[in-house]
């Protein structure tokens, strides 16, 4: 809580340098001098110039650049590579540039040595444009002829006190000394803020780093931060937060492949998820990521693809073979490719470049293809990947990472903790059988959602991507023509079983009809016999009746004769 109150109470001047104001929690101390030191070529002058130009153009704070080494025309030419029109700002009165030539032979080391002439010259420039910011580049040149530490310390204190009394936010650049921050080793003690720039070469790759050595009266980041200098200026990559406090979304987005979406319970991926697609060469990693890009751009979302092995034009051309037109998204400004060889920058410089580009473009989907192309010490790789994932998650960006692996998976020596950071892991694998190669796909994990655990055959054609069920049975997992042959055999066997069943049904019907005919014949014979028996009985009755009648008649006649 104490540091928060201190930070809030200390006035700060924003530099406008991407990431640096985050590291310093607001910028440099306003109305106080800051020291920017480092070895030759680390970017001190460009850093100071950016601070001055941004102050004049972004924050309405005019500035004075007093150079003791470079002439005004040389300085303007150098910073023009960053897109700064220094001459134009000078003409409009927003910046004043003064080159002070210091001759060592004219400096007399006496107790009476002072900087009154410099103060008068600097004060005139400040008053002329009502400057709020000042840059002195470099201080070694100003005090190059002094060897008396007491005089040097006294004049340094006077210079810093003069700047404070005028309420000027100042940057003073200094050369790196041996065993200390500056050559004299005194500036860092009288400065309110000390920024150390470093330019390291490791494995023939240059990486620039920045560290806030000191910041009086304010909390600040204490780590080393990579920073990038290119045609877009200076950008610093702050270390991402370690508290994992980013928000999550329940919105479901499509992968661009309908049959792949069906493998996930919600019918797609959660927005902001980190997705890893691993597989050997030629299994379709880039093709799946291209479908994800196409689906997002079709929804009207911005997408950015960082590619390390192919150019954006090549990816667009290859995507046409599966029915995708990524060029239309590039033309509408929804899709942006950033292509660079892995060896072009160090790991942290790649991360700084990505951070800067993402902050400017604000994409909803980011593809990094392939992450396995990055090279460096294992510890640095792990740290870079962790910061990369955290950076994307903190912004709610759906991230798709592709990784090249010989078997489509990670070995113990190649995991680098990436698989555990991923929310979704899709594995692609080749299966060789019967003289052909088939692609298969399955989902290893999908956090927070149900998902299919089945192996699917992965097919690519001009009509797009399609996942079909692989054959899984006593013969094992079959794909390609082996699956087609097995399915044909099973269909033929099923047809034979159906035909046998139908034949047995027909036999039963025939037997039933035969038996029914026999029953009908027996029933008819029985009825005939019954009818014959009835006739015979009737005849017997008739005879008995006739005999009885005759006996009665005879008896009557006998009685009459007597």
Confidence of residue 241 (pLDDT cuts 50, 70, 90): very low
Please answer whether residues 478 and 468 qualify as being in contact, where contact means their C-beta atoms are separated by less than 8 angstroms: no
Per residue in 177-208, pLDDT (tens digit) is 555 545 555 555 667 788 989 887 766 667 78
Q: What is the pLDDT of residue 332?
A: 92
Closest CA to 401 of 365, 358, 371: 371
Per residue in 285-318, pLDDT (tens digit) is 899 999 999 999 999 999 999 998 888 899 999 9
Per residue in 504-533, pLDDT (tens digit) is 998 899 999 999 889 988 988 888 888 888
The fold for domain 2-235 equals Rossmann fold (3.40.50)
In the chain, pLDDT over 70 holds for what percent of residues?
A: 82
Q: What is the pLDDT of residue 290?
A: 93
Q: What is the pLDDT of residue 397?
A: 92
Return mean pLDDT, the chain: 81
Alpha-carbon distance of 305 to 287, in angstroms, equals 13
Q: What are the two backbone dihedrals, phi and then psi, of residue 256, each rounded to the nearest 5 degrees? A: 90, -10
Q: At what angle do helices 312-319 and 285-298 cross, to 10 degrees?
A: 90
Q: What is the pLDDT of residue 413?
A: 46
The architecture (CATH level 2) of 252-469 comes to 3-Layer(aba) Sandwich (3.40)
- DSSP-assigned letters across all residues of 343-376: GGS-HHHHHHHHHHHHHHH--SEEEEETGGG--S
Q: What are the two backbone dihedrals, phi and then psi, of residue 143, each rounded to the nearest 5 degrees? A: -110, 25
Q: What are the two backbone dihedrals, phi and then psi, of residue 43, each rounded to the nearest 5 degrees? A: 105, 25
The pLDDT of 339-343, averaged and rounded, is 81
Q: What is the pLDDT of residue 175?
A: 79
Per residue in 382-427, pLDDT (tens digit) is 777 888 888 888 888 999 999 887 554 444 445 556 777 889 999 9
Per residue in 95-144, pLDDT (tens digit) is 988 888 765 544 444 444 556 777 888 888 899 999 999 998 877 777 66
Q: What is the pLDDT of residue 145?
A: 57
Alpha carbon distances (Å) from 111 to 102, 152, 160, 272: 19, 10, 19, 66
**How, if at all, do strands 456-461 and 464-469 pair?**
antiparallel
Could you tell me the two tokens for 483?
């699956």
Q: What is the pLDDT of residue 177?
A: 58
Alpha-carbon distance of 313 to 341, in angstroms, equals 15
Residue range(s) of every CATH 3.40.50.300 domain in the chain: 2-235, 252-469
Q: Minimum mean pLDDT among 165-169, 177-181, 436-440, 519-523: which range?
A: 177-181
**What is the CB neighbour count within 10 angstroms for residue 100?**
15
């Amino acid at each position: 809580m104490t540091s928060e109150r201190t930070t809030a109470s200390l006035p700060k001047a924003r530099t406008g340098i991407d990431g640096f104001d985050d590291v310093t929690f607001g910028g440099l101390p306003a109305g106080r001098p800051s020291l920017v030191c480092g070895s030759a070529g680390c970017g001190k002058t460009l850093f100071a110039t950016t601070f001055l130009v941004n102050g004049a153009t972004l924050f309405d704070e005019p500035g004075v650049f007093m150079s003791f080494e470079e002439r005004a025309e040389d300085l303007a030419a150098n910073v023009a590579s960053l897109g700064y029109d220094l001459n134009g700002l000078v003409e409009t009165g927003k910046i004043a540039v003064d080159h002070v030539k210091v001759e060592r032979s004219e400096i007399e080391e006496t107790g009476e040595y002072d900087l009154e002439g410099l103060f008068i010259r600097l004060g005139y420039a400040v008053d002329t444009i009502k400057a709020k910011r000042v840059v002195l580049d470099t201080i070694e040149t100003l005090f190059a002829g002094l060897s008396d530490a007491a005089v040097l310390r006294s004049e340094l204190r006077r210079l810093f006190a003069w700047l404070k009394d005028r309420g000027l936010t100042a940057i003073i650049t200094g050369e790196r000394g041996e065993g200390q921050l500056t050559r004299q080793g005194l500036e860092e003690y009288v400065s309110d803020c000390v920024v150390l720039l470093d330019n390291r070469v490791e494995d023939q790759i240059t990486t620039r780093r920045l560290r806030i050595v000191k910041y009086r009266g304010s909390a600040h980041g204490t780590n080393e931060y990579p920073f990038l200098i290119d045609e877009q200026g200076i950008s610093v990559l702050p270390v991402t937060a370690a508290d994992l406090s980013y928000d999550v979304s329940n919105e479901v987005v499509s992968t661009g492949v309908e049959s792949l979406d069906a493998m996930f319970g919600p019918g797609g991926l959660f927005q902001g998820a980190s997705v890893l697609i691993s597989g050997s060469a030629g299994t379709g990693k880039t093709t799946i990521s291209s479908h994800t890009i196409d689906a997002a751009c079709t929804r009207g979302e911005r997408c950015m693809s960082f590619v390390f092995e192919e150019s954006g034009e090549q990816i667009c051309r290859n995507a046409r073979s599966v029915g995708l037109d990524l060029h239309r998204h590039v033309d509408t400004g929804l899709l942006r490719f950033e292509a660079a060889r892995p060896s072009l920058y160090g790991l942290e410089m790649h991360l700084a470049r990505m951070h800067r580009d993402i902050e400017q473009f604000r994409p909803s989907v980011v593809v990094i293809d392939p992450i396995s192309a990055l090279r460096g010490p294992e510890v640095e790789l792990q740290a870079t990947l962790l910061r990369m994932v955290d950076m994307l998650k903190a912004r709610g960006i759906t991230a798709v990472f592709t990784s090249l692996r010989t078997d489509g998976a990670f070995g113990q020596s190649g995991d680098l903790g990436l698989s555990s950071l991923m929310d979704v892991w899709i594995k692609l694998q080749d299966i060789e059988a019967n003289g052909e190669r088939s692609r298969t796909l399955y989902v290893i994990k999908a956090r927070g959602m149900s998902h299919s655990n089945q192996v699917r055959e992965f097919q690519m054609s001009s009509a797009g991507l399609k996942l079909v069920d692989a054959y899984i049975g006593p013969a094992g997992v079959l794909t390609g023509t082996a699956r087609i042959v097995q399915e044909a055999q099973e269909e033929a066997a099923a047809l034979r079983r159906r035909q046998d069943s139908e034949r047995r049904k027909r036999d039963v019907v025939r037997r039933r009809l035969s038996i029914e005919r026999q029953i009908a014949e027996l029933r008819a014979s029985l009825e005939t016999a019954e009818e014959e028996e009835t006739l015979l009985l009737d005849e017997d009755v008739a005879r008995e009746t006739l005999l009885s009648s005759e006996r009665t008649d005879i008896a009557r006649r006998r009685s009459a004769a007597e």
